[in-house]
Amino acid sequence: MTAPTVPDDLWKRLTSTVGLVSVRCGAITNVMAAEWSYFVNKAPLYAAVVLGPRAATGALIAEAGEFALTLCSEDQAELADFAGAFSVADVDKTGSELIEFGAPRAIGSPWVAGGLLAAECVVRETVRFPGHTMYAGEVVAAHLPEGSPRPLVKHGAMYGLGEPVRRAAVAATAQLLPGGVLRVAATGPAGDGDARWRIGLVSEDGAVEPLGEHASTAHGDVLVDLPVPSRPALERPAGRRVVVERDGAKPGYARITRPSRSPR
């Protein structure tokens, strides 16, 4: 048996907003590009940057105990490319006129202006992975631009954000519960017509047994418990499917599952 292989560039399939990490440590101020920049906790809000061994910024963050993170707007592609091409170990990047620093309110490191947001962060957790290190910082101050710039997105190459994806179909699941109850959950676009959900049991030959029309939850989805209508459906659920329909959307089909136990 051959050993499973993991492509070297698998990580390039990830999509994220490009970050600019800035840090002041003693007499040194630096800016680097970091596409592995995320929020990792909501309350308190933590932002994390994941840095490889080549990034000198890691040692600066470790010493300063802080960093500022700007999530780039699509106008900052040149700056992101530049800040990611050179190291502070070789050249002071802060001479670029593309970098406009904002004065920090809560930490000593300046933040890069022109992004979707800038967050001043105090390091709370440092996680060392085999190659990279994650610095997770509590956001202690934030800076927002006027208006709503569009994000600079990394997905292998750098992109602007496209149009919102239009959902065209219902997505559904169906679970057989003890006591002959069928729990059906579905999401889907409302369309212009009747917003209610029509649920049916589809037999192996394609015949549909209607299981009624149902109202949406407060979130616009559906989650209902239905009595199973016929004995064969109970005995051989594997050969059957559930169909969920809504006006203006393609129907969604679900296999009927029968988990041995529920998570709660």
Q: Which positions lie near ligand FMN, rule CB under 6 A?
A: 18, 30, 32-36, 50-52, 54-57, 80-81, 84, 86-89, 154
Q: How far is the CB of 7 from ligand FMN (least distance, A)?
A: 18
Q: How far is the CB of 91 from ligand FMN (least distance, A)?
A: 9
Nearer to ligand FMN among residue 112 and residue 172 (C-beta): 112
User: 16: which 2 tokens?
Assistant: 């994220």
HSE value, Cβ hemisphere, 13 Å, CA-based, for 190: 9
Nearer to ligand FMN among residue 90 and residue 205 (C-beta): 90
State which amino acid sits at residue 245: E
Q: How far is the CB of 54 from ligand FMN (least distance, A)?
A: 5
Q: How far is the CB of 86 from ligand FMN (least distance, A)?
A: 6
Q: How far is the CB of 174 from ligand FMN (least distance, A)?
A: 41
Nearer to ligand FMN among residue 18 and residue 69 (C-beta): 18
Nearer to ligand FMN among residue 34 and residue 256 (C-beta): 34
Nearer to ligand FMN among residue 84 and residue 237 (C-beta): 84
HSE value, Cβ hemisphere, 13 Å, CA-based, for 196: 7
Q: What residue is closest to ligand FMN based on CB?
A: 84
Nearer to ligand FMN among residue 33 and residue 254 (C-beta): 33
Query: For residue 218, what are the contacts with CB-CB under 8 A and spacing of at least 6?
Result: none
Q: How far is the CB of 213 from ligand FMN (least distance, A)?
A: 49
Is residue 145 a contact partner of residue 120, using CB atoms and an 8 Å limit?
no
